[in-house]
């Protein structure tokens, strides 16, 4: 994208006369991200994003959610004597007060303040980083534990196991790609877990496990740290919504404690690291132990199995549907993902009693 176009868009949020240049940042798997550099070397940098409206169908609602959540976090940070400009995202408005700019191609653009002097981990490869990730996610949830406003549901059915099984049953019935007959073993994996997963989801439906504000994309690179390795804030709040906090915990464990890759072909390389589980849980509970309910704590370990199973189901369902949702690099990619995630689920089930014991011991400290 040329500088003239980027400058024109950025100028909707910040004075164009003060902009030196705009450069791309990252690979942009979902959104396209750019850094706005100021002419004044001591001036603020900003992040400019073109939101993916195919993934996010309600970007105005999404930005409304981010505004509500970040304003709440800033208030809490100020109350604690912190720095709201570094410990929370700051979203910018256009000159007419909107949180987004809609261009002539119906593309949505947003801007937020760039937080200088931060540290980002790209992967979790040690218990120390797992602990930091747990602390970051726990801190985000603890700052929002008393959030009372409603959020727009921008991801209907997300992590809703009853909804996922309805999709699954439809996929089996239609067999759009003609692959059902060759997938009997994998289909049985799903059916063997149906009752257990739906029994857990009933606890969410009846309110035993409450819904709170969750991030829903807990990869380690979405947590900013200062140069000393202390938590600053969570970023990339596009997926924020109200759901069980267990979703964030479980999804983080799914990725942080997995020795292998999500799409690992060699299943011997897929293993569950208990040290990383313990470290993450310790970091997480250091921020949340006193605010979670007994049922939430009881099901922390199970949430890792729940989220991992959901990914097994979704990868296999997409394979049966003809690979229409997840981006694939080769024809069997979704099937490889299915097998890798199911191996991880089996590893979690082997360690499940130990996971519960470790969680109980950390809670008792």
Specify the 3-state DSSP secondary structure of 92: coil
pLDDT digits over 165-218, tens only? 999 999 999 999 999 999 999 999 999 999 999 999 999 999 999 999 999 999
**Is 189 within a domain?**
yes
Higher per-residue pLDDT: 57 or 274: 274
**Residue 315 scores a pLDDT above 90:** yes
Residues 136 and 38 both lie in one domain = no
Confidence of residue 155 (pLDDT cuts 50, 70, 90): confident
What does the pLDDT read at residue 78?
97
**Is 255 within a domain?**
yes
**Is 96 within a domain?**
yes
**Residue 28 scores a pLDDT above 60:** no
**Residue 222 scores a pLDDT above 90:** yes
Rounded to an integer, the average pLDDT of 64-71 is 97
Q: Which of 91, 113, 135 is the last residue of a domain?
A: 113
What does the pLDDT read at residue 314?
96
**Residue 30 scores a pLDDT above 90:** no
pTM of the model: 0.92
**Is 121 within a domain?**
no
Confidence of residue 343 (pLDDT cuts 50, 70, 90): very high
Residues 141 and 215 both lie in one domain = yes
Residues in Cβ contact with 216 at an 8 Å cutoff, skipping those fewer than 6 apart: 155, 158, 159, 239, 240, 241, 243, 247, 248, 251
Residues 242 and 346 both lie in one domain = yes
What does the pLDDT read at residue 358?
97
Higher per-residue pLDDT: 1 or 58: 58
Residues 254 and 325 both lie in one domain = yes
> Residue 208 class from Cβ within 10 Å (0-12 exposed, 13-18 middle, 19+ buried)?
middle
**Is 119 within a domain?**
no
Q: Which of 80, 113, 146 is the last residue of a domain?
A: 113
Tokens at 242, concatenated: 């109200």
**Is 315 within a domain?**
yes
CATH code of the domain covering residue 228: 3.90.1200.10
Q: Which of 86, 113, 140 is the last residue of a domain?
A: 113
Rounded to an integer, the average pLDDT of 73-98 is 96
Rounded to an integer, the average pLDDT of 293-308 is 97
pLDDT digits over 116-128, tens only? 999 999 899 999 9
Is the CB of residue 240 less than 8 Å from the CB of residue 222?
no
DSSP H or E stretch at residue 23:
strand 19-24
Confidence of residue 57 (pLDDT cuts 50, 70, 90): confident
**Is 118 within a domain?**
no
**Is 120 within a domain?**
no
Residues 133 and 109 both lie in one domain = no
Residues 94 and 141 both lie in one domain = no
**Residue 110 scores a pLDDT above 90:** yes
Residues 259 and 334 both lie in one domain = yes
Is the CB of residue 203 less than 8 Å from the CB of residue 209?
yes
What does the pLDDT read at residue 338?
98
Residues 102 and 196 both lie in one domain = no
Is the CB of residue 31 less than 8 Å from the CB of residue 52?
yes
Tokens at 111, concatenated: 């801007």
Q: Scan for tokens 């105005």, then name that residue.
A: 60
Residues 148 and 77 both lie in one domain = no
CATH code of the domain covering residue 88: 3.30.200.20
Mean pLDDT of the chain: 95
Please count the CA atoms within 13 angstroms of the CA of 351 that sit on its side-chain side: 23
Residue 83, domain extent: 3-113
Cα gap 274→268, rounded to integer Å: 17
Rounded to an integer, the average pLDDT of 83-108 is 96
What does the pLDDT read at residue 297?
97
Residues 176 and 228 both lie in one domain = yes
Residues 31 and 144 both lie in one domain = no
For residues 238, 248, 129 and 283, what is the CA-based torsion angle, rounded to 10 degrees? 130
Is the CB of residue 153 less than 8 Å from the CB of residue 254?
no
Residues 80 and 137 both lie in one domain = no
Q: Give the number of domains in the chain.
A: 2
């Amino acid at each position: 994208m040329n500088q003239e176009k980027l400058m024109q868009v950025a100028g909707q949020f910040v004075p164009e006369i003060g902009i030196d240049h705009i450069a791309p940042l990252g690979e942009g798997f979902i959104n396209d991200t750019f850094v706005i550099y100021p002419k004044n070397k001591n001036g603020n940098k900003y992040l400019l994003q073109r939101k993916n409206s195919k993934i996010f169908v309600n970007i105005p609602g999404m930005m409304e959610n981010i505004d509500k959540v970040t304003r709440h976090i800033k208030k809490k940070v100020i109350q604690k004597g912190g720095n709201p400009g570094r410990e929370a995202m700051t979203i910018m408005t256009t000159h007419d007060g909107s949180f987004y700019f809609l261009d002539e191609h119906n593309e949505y653009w947003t801007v937020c303040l760039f937080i200088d002097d931060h540290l980002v981990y790209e992967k979790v490869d040690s218990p120390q980083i797992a602990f930091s990730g747990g602390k970051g996610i726990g801190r985000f949830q603890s700052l929002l534990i008393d959030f009372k406003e409603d959020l727009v549901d921008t991801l209907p059915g997300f992590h809703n196991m009853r909804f996922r099984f309805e999709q699954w049953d439809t996929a089996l019935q239609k067999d759009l790609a003609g692959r059902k007959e060759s997938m009997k073993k994998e289909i049985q994996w799903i059916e063997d877990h149906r009752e257990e997963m739906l029994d857990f989801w009933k606890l969410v439906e009846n309110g035993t496990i409450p819904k709170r504000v969750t991030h829903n994309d807990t990869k380690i690179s979405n947590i900013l740290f200062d140069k000393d390795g202390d938590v600053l804030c969570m970023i990339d709040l596009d997926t924020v919504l109200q759901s069980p906090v267990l979703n964030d915990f479980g999804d983080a464990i799914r990725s942080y404690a997995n020795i292998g890759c999500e799409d690992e072909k060699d299943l011997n390389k897929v293993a569950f690291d208990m040290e990383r589980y313990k470290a993450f849980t310790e970091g997480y509970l250091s921020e949340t132990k006193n605010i979670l309910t007994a049922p939430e704590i009881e099901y922390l370990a199970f949430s890792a199995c729940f989220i991992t199973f959901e990914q097994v189901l979704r990868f296999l369902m997409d394979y049966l549907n003809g690979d229409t949702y997840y981006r694939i690099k080769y024809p069997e990619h979704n099937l490889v993902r299915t097998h890798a995630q199911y191996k991880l689920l089996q590893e979690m089930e082997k360690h499940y009693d130990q996971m519960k014991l470790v969680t109980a011991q950390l809670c008792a400290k």
